[in-house]
Amino acid sequence: MPGGPRCGGRAVASSLGGGRRRTGRGPVVAREHREFAATAVDAPVGEVWDLLCATERYDAWIESTTEVLATDGDARLGASFEERSRISGLWMATIRWTVTEFEPERRLAFEGTGVAVVTGLGFSVDLAPVDHATEVTLTLWYTPRFGPLGSFLELVTRSNVRNDQKRTVRTLASLAEHGRGARAPEP
């Protein structure tokens, strides 16, 4: 697909949730935490979408993914892939991600399993066309396990997670903007 004029983007991040909350007079419990990162990508939505669907290439742009171990091929509803991932720079985990939402050129969402310290793990990528560019929003969510200890670990690692999200959207933008998201032609 032809690209539009180059217009650079800026990554931003924010978080919602996280931390701890009291439920009545009982112990402090963890709640779902969400991290967001967004950027404008100087490439058409279709080119960005093609890159998102190529799960075998996730280790090229997702900051925490060190290796894609297995994949069902291109992303589609119910498809999955397995990766080795650095969890907030502290330890490694093998995560199996399954596509739970698939709206072509709009939204791709995954549920993940395999990280012992969290539950309710997931991430999504939302795309929106803006002139000849694409607004990309990456959202990661999880709930720490192990009560107060899990909440403390989440608090300690939150900035690492936030920084990984920012680097991930910047790398995705760079790949898409410089044509490295395009697949090689099939023989």
Q: Domain 12-20+29-52+99-177: state its class.
A: alpha beta
Q: What is the pLDDT of residues 64-77, one digit of tens each?
A: 999 999 999 999 99
Cα angle for residues 86, 154, 58 (degrees, 5° grid): 30
Q: What is the pLDDT of residues 144-166, one digit of tens each?
A: 887 777 777 777 777 778 888 89
C-alpha–C-alpha distance, residues 160 and 64, integer Å: 10
**pTM above 0.85?**
no
C-alpha–C-alpha distance, residues 131 and 84, integer Å: 36
